[in-house]
């Protein structure tokens, strides 16, 4: 069980296309700017961090776990992790 609720993440999300590939830039005060390559799947969106190569899967519908990152896995954060919030802000998920 998750012990407590963490405050919402605030930042800026931008979705852009470069040479036919989709990228999501997430900017937060605590983590700076992170650039992710976006892969759209039928039930999820995969975000690959272009710097670390680490990838996270964000579910596009509510019946699956929200995101595979540590923040979403271990914390009950208001509005979800930064990946979920960013994907929602740019319309990748509902």
Q: Which residue bears the tokens 């993440």?
A: 9
Least Å from the CB of residue 60 to Zn ion: 13
Chain residues binding Zn ion by CB under 5 A are: 67, 69, 72, 81, 83
Nearer to Zn ion, 20 or 32 (CB): 32
Of 14 and 68, nearer to Zn ion (C-beta) is 68
CB of 3 to Zn ion, least distance (A): 19
**Minimum distance from residue 20 beta carbon to Zn ion (Å):** 25
Name residue, tokens 């900017």: 27
Query: For residues 67 and 93, which CB has a smaller minimum distance to Zn ion in the complex?
Result: 67
Alpha helices in 11-89 (DSSP H): 70-74, 82-89
Choose among 76, 84, 65, 82: nearest CA to 6.
76
Instruction: Provide the 8-state DSSP code for 67.
Output: B
């Amino acid at each position: 069980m998750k012990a407590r609720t963490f405050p919402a993440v605030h930042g800026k999300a931008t979705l852009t296309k470069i040479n036919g590939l989709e990228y999501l830039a997430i900017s937060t005060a605590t983590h700076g700017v992170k650039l992710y390559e976006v892969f759209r799947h039928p039930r999820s969106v995969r975000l690959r961090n272009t710097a670390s190569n680490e990838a996270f899967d964000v579910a596009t519908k509510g019946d699956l776990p929200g995101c595979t990152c540590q923040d979403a896995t271990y914390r009950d954060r208001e509005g979800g992790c930064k990946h979920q919030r960013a994907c929602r802000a740019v319309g990748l998920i509902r």
